[in-house]
Amino acid sequence: MIKKQLKIICGSILIFCILSFLSTIFHLVMRKETEFPVTNIGFPLKYYNQFWDSQNQLHWNWDFLNFVFDFIFVYTLLFLVVFVCERK
């Protein structure tokens, strides 16, 4: 039981990192033609935002609660997939 939970947690961390990386790449590619690019990290909730203002100053915002909710979302999805696959 503990071994299964460890596998789910490690898988959740891996999937969470991949989703965060892909959301970052997506936002960078979509904003490459703009004068002041914006970086958003997080799926489905945005937990990090970085942007330039008109005076060339970098601003950022970190929402830890969205970070936790994103991880719980990924963990729950992976847990449900493992649970459904083992029932069959």
pLDDT band at residue 18 under the 50/70/90 scheme: very high
| Residue 4: partners with Cβ closer than 8 Å, 6 or more residues away | 82
Residue 8: pLDDT over 80: yes
pTM assigned to the model: 0.76
51 confidence band (pLDDT: 50, 70, 90): confident
Orientation angle between helical segments 64-87 and 2-30, nearest 10 degrees: 130
